[in-house]
Amino acid sequence: MRNISASLLLLLVLVSCKNTQEQGPQVTESKASSQTEYVSFGQEIQTTDVIDGAAMMALYKGMSQGDTIQTTFRASVNSVCKMKGCWMRLAVEDKEAFVKFKDYAFFVPKYLSEVEVVVAGKAYVSETSVDDLKHFAQDAGKSQEEIDAITQPELSLDFMADGVLVPASAIVEENTSEETTSQETAQQDQSAE
């Protein structure tokens, strides 16, 4: 009787392990396809309770200069500081939110563009001076003509980020394009000889 009970228990364990193994990869695959892997910059932030650009714009529309709102939102990167990645502009409906990084404690990759990121921190509205607008235009690589055309301060949608999540798929080595270009140039030089 003892052998029969032990055999039944062993059989039950084997069957349950087999079912777990069959379901395991399917569950993992469905999780992997529905979740994006991120690289974190600054403080660790969560992807729960993240609002989209339209909801963020609704918050900005309800704000006055001096108001702040702690929030986390997802938006597409329009541009990043080309000097060192110390700020970025995110698409918020038909406007842009100007994102700086708290205490300049971290920066994002300079090459990010048209990739959706998640930022957490404080949203606020402020007036940006002509000098600051010109400085930001210079950092963005604008032409001197575009910089000189800035003559009025602007009311801007601002965001002080504590942390940023960038999709891992968007992270590349910054020298990759330079290396490719120099390799192509070397190949062209060799073929010309």
Residue boundaries of the structural domains of the chain = 38-170
Q: How many residues does the chain have?
A: 193
Q: What is the pLDDT of residues 22-69, one digit of tens each?
A: 332 222 222 333 478 999 999 999 888 999 999 999 999 999 888 999
Q: How far is the first Cα of the chain from the last one, in angstroms, to the nearest whole number? A: 88
Does position 117 have pLDDT exceeding 90, yes or no? yes
Q: What is the mean pLDDT of the chain?
A: 78
Identify the band that residue 180 occupies on the pLDDT scale cut at 50, 70 and 90.
very low
- DSSP state, 47? S
SS3 state of residue 115? coil
* Token digits of residue 91: 């698409």
Fold of 38-170: OB fold (Dihydrolipoamide Acetyltransferase, E2P) (2.40.50)
String of DSSP letters for 9-73: HHHHHHHHHHHHHHHHHHHHHHHHHHS--EEEEES---STT-B-HHHHHHHHHT--TT-EEEEEE
Residue type, 98: F
Does position 134 have pLDDT exceeding 80, yes or no? yes
